[in-house]
Amino acid sequence: MIKYPTKKSTYQRQKTSVKNRGMNFEALIDETNTFYRFQKRAVIYKKPIPIQIVKVDYPDRQHAKIKEAYYKTPSTTDYNGIYKGYYIDFDVKETKNKTAFPLKNIHTHQIEHLRAIDEAGGIAFLLIRFVVHNTVHLLPIDALNNFLERAKTGRQSFTYQELVSTGLEVNEGYRPTFDYLSAVDTMIKTIKNL
């Protein structure tokens, strides 16, 4: 438990093993979102996956266990919420590839959802972690659309260097773990200048 001198309440940082950081990227984004809510900076949550429960085992009341379930519909993206009056919606992706990110890792229904958010005036993006480079970048939907357009006639991925030049770097720190809202601030400035 960490007690901050400026707040009466406390924020508890979750323990994350350094060796499992790649496997826990979503957990680290969850931790970042918890910190943002604690600081009253943004309200962003992981979306629940819509499932249909078919079979449950009830050995007793406290130990009910789901035995069989199916996805009702394809899940759209990982996270959504509100920041500075803007609705934001994004998906978290990572790759162990050293040089490129395959576009096949982004599902069609996710792309359609992010485009719909953008068209409705929300902020839509991907957070992409390159494990080998130990970097995270925010890729706005406009840049993703450009890569997808190019993929119709050619390359089915974008390179790490292309991500660095078109995306926004997300700094890793202690509080929050990945301050992606600083990159969102840059997107908001761009929107206001249009």
Residue with tokens 């009466």: 8
- Topology of domain 18-48+76-193 in CATH is Trna Endonuclease; Chain: A, domain 1 (3.40.1350)
Burial status of residue 97 (CB atoms within 10 A of its CB: 0-12, 13-18, 19 or more)? middle
Domain ranges of the chain: 18-48+76-193
Q: Can you give the pLDDT at residue 97?
A: 92
Q: Can you give the pLDDT at residue 12?
A: 54
C-beta separation of 124 from 117 below 8 A = yes
Q: Can you give the pLDDT at residue 24?
A: 84
What sign for the dihedral angle of Cα 53, 54, 57, 58? positive
Q: Can you give the pLDDT at residue 74?
A: 67
Q: Can you give the pLDDT at residue 19?
A: 40
Q: Can you give the pLDDT at residue 13?
A: 52
Predicted TM-score (pTM) of this structure: 0.78
CA distance 62 to 93: 36
Amino acid in the structure at residue 122: G
C-beta separation of 159 from 99 below 8 A = yes
Q: Can you give the pLDDT at residue 2?
A: 52
Q: Can you give the pLDDT at residue 17?
A: 41
Stretches where the chain sits below pLDDT 50 are: 3-4, 7-9, 14-23
Q: Can you give the pLDDT at residue 7?
A: 47
